[in-house]
Amino acid sequence: MVKFESEDPLVHDEPMLDDVDSDEEQSESESEDDSGEEFHAEPSKKAIYNKEAILEKLEDIGWPENVDWRHKLTVEHDQGEKVDVNDDLARELAFYTQALDGTRQAFEKLQSMKVRFLRPADYYAEMVKTDAHMHKIKGRLLSEKKKIEEAEERKKAREAKKRSKEVQAQKNKEKIRQKKEQIDSVKKWRKQRQQGGFSKGNDDGPDLNFEGEEGFKQSKKKRPGVSPGDRSGGLAKKGNPGKNRKTRDSKYGHGGRKGLKKQNTAETTNDFRGFNQRGESQNKKRKMS
């Protein structure tokens, strides 16, 4: 301890000095350049580089020359051309290849030495990362995988939807085509029949009065005998159902215009059934009193 005390100024001066240095450099450079861009590239000229002393130190601390490789376990790897630092992928790849190449070399060496160096399958011991942590990692990996799968599925569904529109259109076309064909075939058949000497209106064949498109179209005209407010389209009046049903159907059923029901007609204006004559007079009385 005493020894260190005596060295005191040397020991703690240097590291602190370096801080002061850097501060000085800072102020200098600040005054020097305004742009501050090329500032990174240029090396400072007064930097110390004492090569002899460094090599001497290296010799001091170095292990003996002929030390067994198994103490060091070091492998050198030539990176080849320069690696771009800012390209993350290229950089990591360079490190990975260095590790892989180094490991291969080392393993070959170890194999040739005939020593046991691989961990047996039944060797369990403490690991650097705990089981709980590894479980977490596994969970994350799984969830990532799931996410990717889901995304893919969604993509597929989207594509299928696009496709389904096309398919539907195709089907519709096919339907129309078939219809046309059938009609054509029926026409053909009728022509043949006429040519064969059968007169029209004979009860041998069905009277198919659908020449042209009109035969299939439903008339848009109002059906006769149906009031405009009848939402059932006159259906309610036809069948057996009771009176209530009928009125309700005509009132609440489908179609028709609602507004017509709220309009007055000649009948309703003359109808005083719902009109309370007394009500008003009573009110008047009440007002008076």
Partner 1 sequence: MAKKRKRSSDAAAAAAAAAEKPGEFAPERPERTLFGFMEKPTAAAADLEESEPETASEGGEDDAAAVAVAAAAPFRNKEKVLVTCSRRINYRYRHLMQNVVSLLPHAKKDSKVESKQSKGNALNELLELRSCSSCLFFECRKQKDLYLWMVKSSGGPSVKFLVNAVHTMEELKLTGNHLKGSRPLLTFSTNFDEQPHWKLVKEMLTQIFATPKDHRKAKPFHDHVFVFSIVDDHVWFRNYQISVPHNETDKVDKGGLDKMTLVEVGPRFCLNPIKIFGGSFGGPTLYENPYYISPNQIRALEKRKKAGKYAKKVKAKVRRKMHEMENTLEPDEFAGLWKGED
Q: Which of residues 12-71 bind partner 1 (CB under 8 A)?
A: 12-16, 18, 22-23, 25-26, 29-30, 36, 39-40, 43-45, 47-51, 53-55, 57-58, 60-64, 67-68, 70-71
Backbone dihedral angles phi then psi of residue 275, each to the nearest 5 degrees: -100, 120
Which of 116, 200, 238, 287 is the binder for partner 1 (CB under 8 A)? Answer: 116
Residue 24 to residue 17: CA distance in whole angstroms: 11
**Pair of tokens at residue 144:** 């990532």
Gap between the Cα atoms of 132 and 203, Å rounded: 89
Binding partner 1 (rule: CB under 8 A), the pick from 20, 32, 72, 242 is 72
Let me know: does 132 contact 121? Beta carbons within 8 Å: no
User: Whole-number minimum distance, CB 151 to partner 1, in Å?
Assistant: 19
Contact window for partner 1 (CB under 8 A) among 92-100, 145-153, 207-215, 237-245:
92-100
CB-based burial, 218-227: b 16+ in 10 Å, e otherwise: eeeeeeeebe
Closest C-alpha to 237, from 222, 251, 258:
251
Q: How far is the CB of 171 from partner 1 (least distance, A)?
A: 49
Q: Does the footprint of partner 1 cover residue 1 (CB under 8 A)?
A: yes
| 213 close to 176: Cβ distance less than 8 angstroms | no
Residue 167 three-state SS: helix
Token code pair at residue 232: 């059932």
Site for partner 1 in 140-159 (CB under 8 A): 140-141
Compare residues 76 and 207 and give the one whose CB is closer to partner 1.
Answer: 76
Does residue 103 bind partner 1 (CB under 8 A)? yes
Give the residue with the Cβ less far from partner 1, 127 or 288. Answer: 127
> Should residue 118 be labelled a site residue for partner 1 when binding is judged by CB under 8 A?
yes
Q: Nearest approach, Cβ of 153 to partner 1 (angstroms)? A: 25
